[in-house]
Amino acid sequence: MKNIILKNRYTLLVTVLTVYIVVLVIEGFITGRQAQVLDFENPFFDLNIKDLEGLRERRA
């Protein structure tokens, strides 16, 4: 196991980052942290070609 992780810099990096993100996610679920805070609004995400008028209104 140790040999695989320490085989080269890439395997080590992937292992470390995997452990890190898994710990973050598990902790997040256990403590019930708000998982989605980066809920930024971008008018282009719901771009609808047929609704150009609506877009113009929203952006104005």
List interacting residues with other proteins (CB under 8 A): 6, 8-9, 12-13, 15-17, 19-21, 23-25, 27-29, 33-38
Query: Minimum CB separation from other proteins for residue 39, in Å?
Result: 9
In whole angstroms, what is the distance from residue 45 CA to residue 4 CA?
Answer: 42
Alpha-helical runs (H) found in 6-51: 9-31
Instruction: Rank residues 23 and 52 by Cβ distance to other proteins and give the closer one.
Output: 23
Nearest to 15 by CA among 28, 25, 2: 2
Measured from the CB atom, the residue of 42 and 48 that comes closer to other proteins is 42
